[in-house]
């Protein structure tokens, strides 16, 4: 079974290699999707894959890399439509 979760991460999450380390962690977990910076300073992540792997990535997002300071993570389940085949950074 494949699930998808949409995540919005707030705090000091831009300019601290958050997207690159998220992509690396997603690759380790075989999770597809994307991570992108938003104009308001948050990072948006779409995570798709096996439930345990997606949950593990979402848990990691609550900490992020050592250089980040995550203050909030909003996660919601989304329908798996047009699931990307890789984890992209934009």
Q: Which residues participate in catalysis according to the annotation?
A: 19, 37
The 10 Å CB-count burial string (b at 16+, else e) for 48-76 is bbeeebbbbbbebbeebbeebebeebebe
Q: What is the sign, positive or negative, of the torsion defined by CA atoms of 78, 81, 85, 87? A: negative
């Amino acid at each position: 079974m494949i699930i998808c979760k949409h995540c919005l991460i707030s705090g000091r999450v831009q300019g601290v290699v958050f997207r690159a380390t998220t992509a690396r962690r997603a690759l380790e977990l075989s999770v597809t999707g994307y991570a992108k910076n938003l104009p308001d300073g948050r990072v948006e992540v779409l995570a798709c894959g096996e439930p345990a792997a997606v949950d593990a990535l979402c848990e990691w997002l609550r900490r992020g890399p050592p250089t980040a300071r995550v203050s909030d993570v909003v996660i919601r389940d989304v329908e798996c439509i047009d699931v990307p085949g890789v984890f992209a950074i934009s």
